[in-house]
Structure 1
Amino acid sequence: MASAPQLPLFYNGLEPLSSETHADWKVRPAETAPFLAGQHAIPVTIDEFPLVQRHMPIVFSVGEDAIPLALMGLNEGVNVFVDEAGKLTETNFYVPAYIRRYPYMLARLRPDSQDLSLCFDPTSETIGAFEDGEPLFTDGQPSQLTKDILAFNEQFEQAGQRTQMFMKELKDLGLLMDGEVTIQMDGGEQPFIYRGFQMIDEKKLADLRGDQLRKISQSGMLPLLYAHLFSLSLMRDIFARQAQAGKVAAPQMQPSF
């Protein structure tokens, strides 16, 4: 996260999209995402759990305002799914919506207003006054591309609100615990221990009262919890990828997500 002003992951700045200022601006497709190459933990929404859990471990960040994270690597600065240029090395891989949203996002332009405006990161190389590309505005009105971008960001914002409610419920039920994964390499003397994240406490989940269990089952929350728990087995796959690439930290180091 950036500071002064505080900006979300990936973003170097935010500028509201304007039909006047950006009347002739266009969008060019990008084959790579350089901003992704050194990122190992990506925020995800609960709407994405069923797809994410097939490809990446889902954990929860530490602290009071915990959020779900998809792990693209187990160590800071390591992403095993993209090359050094930020090009995806996988086929049939689910790319989290947080990544696909960039360089756009909905943001409040004034602290005293609840209205959200479509903004973008002006340092992105995919948007600008290019000769080629798809226009953002046509005859002073948002193009279909801009309408689609806005719709996607609105859906992402709604999914984010559902995720906040989900996290509040987890906290109220006391289901989060400090996570730890131990991985022993063949022939290695010391195991690799990964901490600095949260996970669901399976014992507390099993010990929930009947009314509590019924509530989270009826709300659709229970399958999401198991999607998270099942996904944790993928940590060993991520570790194997890192080991093959020679990007595994020393066993005594305990990375934080």
Structure 2
Amino acid sequence: MASAPQAQGLPLFYNDLQPLSSDLHANYKIRRAETAPFLAKQHAVPLTVEEFPLVQRYLPIVFSMGDEPVPLGLMGLNEGINVFFDADGKFRENEPFYIPAYIRRYPYMLARLRPDAEELSLCFDPTSDSIGDFEEGEALFEDGKPSELVQQVLKFNEDFEIAGQKTNAFMKELKELGLLMDGEVSIQPDGAAQPYIYRGFQMIDENKLNEMRGDQLRKIVQNGMLPLIYAHLFSLNLMREIFGRQMQQGAVAQQEQPAA
């Protein structure tokens, strides 16, 4: 159900990467995107721990499977289903909603131009419709220097990298404490012969959390992990809301019938 971003090759959403250059992209502009086609069939988006307090109000927060799990915000309970964005990548609602930073970062990201490079360079996905040699839009460079907009983009990406490091530390601590377990959610709609079962993600084991030693509990209180853990646990109640949206949109996968 919850897939981690691609472990090899390009990150989730990115089709290509080019370093931003005042020589090659002197005439490039950024134009406002009205839709996000790359989100249309994306059901899970990576999160940073700093976002948990906001995300918990809108999306279930889970953790991907595998040896290196990452936090994910669920926009659907099935692969290829996004209940918040339509087939064209247009937001369905007029009500408030939190857009995760990973989405807002696209089509930019910081990357090493060479494996041995110490510094990260600002890159972009040239296949994106929001950046290019357009007539309209905001200029990337002014008199050969990065515009104020580019400087803002760079700052956002630098902050995102720092948040990513904090997230990695949080996940490492969760693993060392043994607090993650395989997750399962059972939802029984009215009139259904059997419940819908969703697996394929990890979650915090509340029993282990409640049984932690005093020194361990003191540590996660002092380092700020405990409120983040509870934000995750509280957010799981939104699973049923996401399921309800899928039902309304006719996007609930057929259940497998039990063998006769």
- Structure 2 stretches lacking a partner, 5+ long: none
- Which of 63, 81, 93 is 1:78 aligned to? 81
Distance 2:6 2:207 in 1: 37
Q: Which range moves more in the overlay, 69-78 or 86-95?
A: 86-95
Corresponding residue of 2:196 = 192
CA distance in 2, matches of 1:2, 1:228: 23
Stretches (4+) displaced over 4 A = none
For the aligned residue pairs, the C-alpha RMSD in angstroms reads: 1.2
SS of residue in 2 equivalent to 1:78: coil
CA contact (8 A) 1:106 1:153 kept: yes
TM-superposed deviation, 1:178: 0.2
**Gap runs ≥5 in structure 1:** none
Query: Match for residue 105 of structure 1?
Result: 109
**1:16-165 matched pairs, under 5 angstroms:** 16-90=19-93, 91-165=95-169
Identity, % of aligned positions = 69
The answer to whether the Cα contact below 8 Å between 1:193 and 1:252 also exists between their aligned partners in 2 is: no
Q: Kindly state the Cα deviation for residue 114 of structure 1 after the two structures are TM-superposed.
A: 2.4
- The TM-score with structure 1 as length reference comes to 0.96
Q: For 1:80 and 1:106, locate their aligned partners in 2 and report how far apart those are by CA, in whole Å.
A: 30
What SS does the corresponding residue of 1:59 show, helix, strand or coil? strand
Aligned equivalent of 2:228, options 219, 224, 228? 224
Q: CA separation in 2, counterparts of 1:250 and 1:192?
A: 9
- SS at 1:172 equivalent: helix
Distance 2:50 2:214 in 1: 25
Q: Supply the AA of the counterpart residue of 1:119.
A: C
Deviation sequence 1:103-138 (CA, Å, 0-9, x none): 000011111122100000000011011111000000
Aligned mates of 1:251, 1:95 — CA distance in 2: 31
- Please state whether the residue corresponding to 2:239 is helix, strand or coil: helix
Decide which moves more: 84-93 or 244-253: 244-253
CA contact (8 A) 1:19 1:142 kept: yes
1:14 to 8, 14, 17: 17
> Which residue type is aligned with residue 134 of structure 2?
F
Q: Does structure 2 conserve the Cα–Cα contact (< 8 Å) formed by 1:32 and 1:85?
A: yes
In the TM superposition, residue 2 of structure 1 has moved relative to its aligned partner by: 6.0
Aligned to 1:174: 178
Q: Distance in 1 between matches of 2:45 and 2:6?
A: 15
TM normalised by structure 2 equals: 0.95
Q: For 1:136 and 1:92, locate their aligned partners in 2 and report how far apart those are by CA, in whole Å.
A: 30
Aligned pairs, number: 252
Deviates more, 1:144-153 or 1:78-87: 78-87
> Partner amino acid for 1:233?
N
Q: Which moved more, 1:154-163 or 1:89-98?
A: 89-98
SS of alignment partner, residue 229 of structure 1: helix
Whether the 8 Å contact between 1:192 and 1:252 is mirrored in structure 2 is no
Asked whether the 8 Å contact 1:72–1:81 carries over to 2, the reply is: yes
Paired with 2:197 and 2:115, the residues of 1 have a C-alpha distance of 42
Distance in 2, matches of 1:36 and 1:114, equals 32
C-alpha deviations, 1:176-220, integer Å up to 9, x for none?
000000000111111100000000000000111101101100111
Tell me how far apart the structure 2 counterparts of residues 237 and 252 of structure 1 sit (CA, whole Å).
22
1:208 aligns with 212
Structure 1 residues 62-104: Cα deviation after superposition (integer angstroms, max 9, x where no partner): 0011000000000011000011111112221000000000000
